[in-house]
């Protein structure tokens, strides 16, 4: 278990640093407030996690430790959106359309609502 935690933590560190560098590089010199760096990180992370899981499905091309390090650690640190996208793809592939719509709607709507409620909470306290 400790080994797995260290794999995820190390990958998460690498992914988080990569995300920061992508945002700094992409948004440097942009006058727009659109989060282009975040969009690029989310799409790139989704593409990378697709490659990782496709390789993992091939059998002996990738060990479970490498999959955990790359998918959960690196991609998780780079963007949790990649896991969200992969989970939704799997639901669509399996024909679980109700779960798909609940997951997409719930994550987007409830996530935005949670941000708003967090802001309200802080404003009420301070």
Q: What is the pLDDT of residue 126?
A: 66
DSSP 70-119: IIIIIIHHH-THHHHHHHHHHHHHTT-HHHHHHHHHIIIIIHHHHHHHHH
Q: How far apart are CA 5 and CA 35, in angstroms?
A: 31
Contact 77, 19 (CB under 8 A): yes
pLDDT 10s digits, 46-71: 899 889 888 888 878 889 899 999 99
Residues in the chain: 126
DSSP assigned state of 40: H
Band (39; pLDDT cuts 50, 70, 90): confident
Domain ranges of the chain: 2-94, 95-126
pLDDT tens across 105-125, in order?
998 999 899 888 988 988 898
CA distance 8 to 76: 9
């Amino acid at each position: 278990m400790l080994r797995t935690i260290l794999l995820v933590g190390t990958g998460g560190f690498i992914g988080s640093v990569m995300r920061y560098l992508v945002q700094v590089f992409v948004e440097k010199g942009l006058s727009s407030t659109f989060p282009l760096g975040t969009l690029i990180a989310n799409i790139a992370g989704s593409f990378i996690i697709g490659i990782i899981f496709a390789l993992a499905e091939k059998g002996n091309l990738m060990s479970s430790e490498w999959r955990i390090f790359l998918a959960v650690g690196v991609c998780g640190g780079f963007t949790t959106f990649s896991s969200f996208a992969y989970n939704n793809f799997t639901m669509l592939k399996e024909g679980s359309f109700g779960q798909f719509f609940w997951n997409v709607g719930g994550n987007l709507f409830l996530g935005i609502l949670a941000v708003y409620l967090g802001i309200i909470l802080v404003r009420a306290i301070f």
